[in-house]
Every structure is written in C-alpha cells, then in structure tokens.
Amino acid sequence: MIQGEYDAHGRQRVDHFVTIDLRYINAPSDYEAKKKITPYMASRGWKYKQFQGRHAMERLICRPCLRETSIMERDWERKAHGDRGSKLSGFYGALCGE
C-alpha cells in the first residue's frame, strides 16, 4: 500500500506489479492441451499458448498473489503425497512467518 494516496473512490491506493505465470502442459496435440485448461482455470485467467515449441498455459498475476499461490500449491502437493508427519509448516504458517 502507498501511504497517504487514495484513488478516485476514496480507497487507499495499492500498487500491483504484474508478471506472467507460465506452465508447460504435457499433451500430444494442441487439441489435447487446450482440453486440459478447464473452465475453472480459464476463469482464473489461464490461456493456451505455444511457447518455445511446447504446449503451455499462461496468465497474468501480481507478484504477491503468485508468491502466495506457490506456497499454497506446495502445501497441497505435500498433502496429496501423504506427507502429514513432515516438519514443514503449512500454508498459513508459511504466510504468517511461523
């Protein structure tokens, strides 16, 4: 947040620095790669893209959101593999710095 600066609606101004989140898709054809982008993912901004000769999906996302999303996805991955006894902190612990 930028202290003392407000937008036209009287809310405190927040600057977001946007970057591209790019992920490769394992698929044999364009059709199969485009099918892997679900309507839910499309609603979150994901689009199909051919990148460096490979199938990929991309979206624009602000850097703080990208950081939080990567922490959350890492936690989900850990839980999916049944690593519940690990000493790694969970999503909320990582966000709060615990």
What pTM was estimated for this model as a whole?
0.58
Could you tell me what percent of the chain has a pLDDT over 70?
76
* Half-sphere CA count of 45, side-chain side, radius 13 A: 12
Helix spans in 28-62 (H): 30-35, 39-43
**pLDDT value of position 80:** 76
Q: What is the pLDDT of residues 7-56, one digit of tens each?
A: 777 777 666 688 899 999 999 999 999 999 999 999 989 999 999 999 99
Q: 3-state class of 79 per DSSP?
A: helix
**pLDDT value of position 28:** 93
